[in-house]
Amino acid sequence: MKRNLLLIFLVIVIAVIAIVILKKPTKKAEEGHNIANGKEVDSTWRAPDIATDLREKGKEREMILYGHDLIAHTAKFLGPKGTVAHISNGMNCQNCHLDAGTRPWGNNYAAVYATYPQLRGRSNTVQNIYGRINDCLQRSLNGKTLDTTSYEIQSIYMYMKWLGKGVAKGKKPYSAGLPKPAFLSRAADPAKGKVVYIKVCSSCHGDKGQGLLNADGSEYTYPPLWGQHSYNDGAGLHRLSSFASFVSSNMPYNLASHAHPLLKNEEAWDVAAYVNSQPRPRMDQHKDWPDITKKPFDAPYGPYADSFNEQQHKYGPFEPIVNAKTTKNNLK
């Protein structure tokens, strides 16, 4: 009898130990910790180093390097004076995906390979990586799409695959993409944003948001924020929360970071309102958000599934919209 009790006790102890051991890695992965060679490095995702990571060889390595150049210097290949095709507005992917999509909280590509294909509300279809790349080409670079068999899009794909290879399937690492900014209790104010813009942004981006081309005109030293060469009104940055988030963690360039933002939260929202109230190329978006209950709270154009008007969806205050039960208020 005593021996049986001892045996049951032992089984329970072993089971508890097994559960603790088995549970640990899942929890870590959920928190988005970065695991390299089975060891946790730190809580912020770090991209592999393109110069020293030589694990891929031959054709694969060649495509990764070309994919990197296409992200960093898109205009040189695909811009108005591009060597491959003339299908975009002269901006580089890197203008918004900093350090070729590797900077923590710099709108990086850490989660791309791990989380696509995915169901996206804007199209209400399952979208793959090629589709997502072409979305930014059409909207953020106000351009045309690349054929999915082209060497260019295949190389960008290989680059994103390489960048995301340490990330577990389906997981979004901490510091991937953009953070979610805290809401203001009032509407963002373009007039206040103009004051911020003139003081903090215009020295680089120009007093008319036109940016500054480099000496030979092949790409921007400072990219435009509005006007005919900027992103169009169907782009991700045309949503106030994306703009405020990007700018808060990354602008002024190389002076601000997620840990040390330079703008106050309200200044980031106000400058977003100012920039996004300026003229820019328009895009036919009547096919976007076919299921309007999936529209994000800050989709700047109606129709909406709730009773808040276009003005409030564009500038806020957003909390009442998010708290309303009529929509799912997809935050992505």
Q: Which residues bind ligand HEC (CB under 6 A)?
A: 74, 91-98, 107, 109, 111-112, 132-133, 136-137, 140-141, 156, 177, 200-201, 203-205, 222-225, 231, 235-237, 242, 246-247, 251-253, 263, 271, 275, 332
CB closer to ligand HEC, 141 vs 184: 141
Q: Minimum CB separation from ligand HEC for residue 308, in Å?
A: 20
Q: Minimum CB separation from ligand HEC for residue 8, in Å?
A: 49
Sign of the C-alpha dihedral, residues 105, 164, 27, 21? negative
End-to-end CA distance of the chain: 60
Backbone angles phi, psi at 217, to 5 degrees: 70, 15
Q: Would you say 317 and 266 are in contact if contact means Cβ atoms under 8 Å apart?
A: no
Q: Minimum CB separation from ligand HEC for residue 16, in Å?
A: 38
CB closer to ligand HEC, 25 vs 281: 281
Burial 193-223 (b: 16+ CB within 10 A, else e): bbebbeebbeeebbeebbbebeeeebbbebb
Q: Minimum CB separation from ligand HEC for residue 26, in Å?
A: 22
CB closer to ligand HEC, 25 vs 262: 262
CB closer to ligand HEC, 25 vs 283: 283
- The tokens for 320 are 């009442």
From 28, 21, 53, 47, select the one nearest 171 (Cα to Cα).
Answer: 28
| 271 HSE (CA, 13 A, CB side) | 26
Q: What is the DSSP string of 14-46?
A: HHHHHHHHHHHHHHHHHTT--EETTEE--SS--
Other CB atoms within 10 Å distance of the CB of residue 228? 12
Q: Minimum CB separation from ligand HEC for residue 147, in Å?
A: 14
Q: Minimum CB separation from ligand HEC for residue 281, in Å?
A: 12
CB closer to ligand HEC, 121 vs 316: 121
CB closer to ligand HEC, 25 vs 65: 65
